[in-house]
Amino acid sequence: MFLLLSSKKLLSHNRSIITRYMSQDTKSSILNWASKDGEFRRQQSVFRDFIEDKPDAKFAPEPDRYHLYISWACPWAHRTAIVRNLKGLDKIIGLSAVDYLMLDKGWKFSTEQECPGAIPDTVNNASYIRDIYFKVNPNYEGRFTVPVLWDKKLQTIVNNESSEIIRMFNTVFNKFLSKEQAELNYYPEPLRKEIDETNEWVYDTVNNGVYKSGFATTQEAYEKNVVPLFKSLDRIEKILDGHKYLVQDTFTEADIRLFTTIVRFDPVYHGHFKCNLKSIQHDYPNILEWTRRIYQKPGVKETVNMDHIKRHYYMSHRQINPTQVVPIGTGPDLLVPVEP
């Protein structure tokens, strides 16, 4: 359940966090989100290897060989955490979760005492995600993003593209799972064409659309992206009218990929990213019911850390929210019972 933080407690905690990180506060390109034309452009993931169940595979599926680095705040990393839980991979693949506050050195590892919900790096003992990238490539010049799927055996990054990591998690470890878990398939062959088509427009206009709206630095760039965002939300609302899920009433990766954006929409994107033409709670009843249905699946709500989500966006994006004040609202109650 999303907990409502008291204003006094929130302000006190925020001040201590800000003080803790002030020594890192130097200008850096890591926080330059928009291009010169005011448009937000997402960097392509660099590490794109695959775990394959083949005799000669460089990256073979093995229990306790791989480790997943995530942020509870990041919607892209959130996808991988959900599939890891749903498939029962938590006993096979380790997990580290960074601090919610991302300043000029990027994602930082903290202890549970320093940042409740954080899980330190017990594999590489890194202080920052950037340390892991530099361990693999000392000359790396891209962004230091999560998720990161790490191979403990070969001491390297396998993949840092969330859409590919969830595909691997979907099938490649099945031989180590129970029959019930192995049979869970979020990318079934008969639905792949429709899933891919859905993923394409949802990614461009919704998943990435909120970022293109929120990080726009010109009015033109903002309006160019926020209008298609709500057209797509209207489209999704119609798709879910009388249907439980996006693709033929089957729970697929298309739902998981959209869910991580929608669960952040009212608490963060509506205000922080200026995506305020409508809200999920008040204007999209079908999407709200769908969100509750997914949230209530065993293993999903444990991956939704609203405290990390809110603090990350409102405190890390100081070009958008220079005061770093975090609103106390947490969005709609997702525990209201719905039909499974």
Residue 187, pLDDT > 60, answer yes
Percent of the chain with pLDDT over 90: 86
33 burial via Cβ count (<10 Å: 0-12, 13-18, 19+): middle
Query: Do 216 and 307 reside in the same domain of the chain?
Result: yes
Bridge partner list, 128: 108
CB 190 within 8 A of CB 248: no
- Per-residue pLDDT of 147-177, as tens digits, reads 999 999 999 999 999 999 999 999 999 999 9
- Per-residue pLDDT of 20-67, as tens digits, reads 444 444 334 555 555 566 776 656 668 999 999 999 999 999 999 999
Question: Can you list the alpha helix ranges (DSSP code H) found in 137-218?
Answer: 162-171, 179-183, 192-202, 209-214
Q: Show the tokens assigned to 154.
A: 């070969």
Query: Do 100 and 161 reside in the same domain of the chain?
Result: yes
Closest Cα to residue 61, out of 178, 176, 186? 176
The mean pLDDT of 94-106, rounded to a whole number, is: 97
Three-point CA angle 330, 320, 100, nearest 5°: 55
| 3-state SS class at 327 | coil
Range of 279's domain? Answer: 189-316
Query: Do 231 and 272 reside in the same domain of the chain?
Result: yes
- Residue tagged active-site, from 66, 69, 74, 222: 74
- Per-residue pLDDT of 205-246, as tens digits, reads 999 999 999 999 999 999 999 999 999 999 999 999 999 999
Query: Do 127 and 208 reside in the same domain of the chain?
Result: no
Identify the pLDDT of residue 65.
99
**211 is known as an active-site residue:** yes
What is the sign, positive or negative, of the torsion defined by CA atoms of 163, 168, 171, 177?
Answer: negative
Bridge partner list, 229: none
314 membership: H or E segment, kind and range:
helix 306-316
| 3-state SS class at 36 | coil
- Per-residue pLDDT of 243-275, as tens digits, reads 999 999 999 999 999 999 999 999 999 999 999
| 3-state SS class at 298 | coil
**203 is known as an active-site residue:** no
Identify the pLDDT of residue 25.
40
Identify the pLDDT of residue 34.
55
Query: Do 265 and 150 reside in the same domain of the chain?
Result: no
Count the domains in the chain.
2
Query: Do 87 and 104 reside in the same domain of the chain?
Result: yes
**Residue 44 falls within a domain, yes or no?**
no
Query: Do 238 and 279 reside in the same domain of the chain?
Result: yes
Query: In whole angstroms, how far apart are CA 205 and each of 131, 153, 208, 225, 234?
Result: 33, 39, 6, 7, 12
Find the CATH number of the domain harbouring 300: 1.20.1050.10
Binding site for glutathione, by residue number, is 107, 143-146, 161-162
Phi then psi for 40, rounded to 5 degrees?
A: -85, 130
Per the document, the length of the chain is 340
Q: Show the tokens assigned to 175.
A: 């031989």
**Residue 19 falls within a domain, yes or no?**
no
State the Cα–Cα distance between residues 306 and 220, nearest whole angstrom.
Answer: 31
Binding site, by residue number, is 107, 143-146, 161-162
**Residue 134 falls within a domain, yes or no?**
yes
- Residue tagged active-site, from 66, 69, 133, 211: 211
170: left (phi over 0), alpha (psi -120 to 50) or beta: alpha
Identify the pLDDT of residue 27.
39
Identify the pLDDT of residue 46.
83
**Residue 93 falls within a domain, yes or no?**
yes
CB 323 within 8 A of CB 315: no
| 3-state SS class at 66 | strand
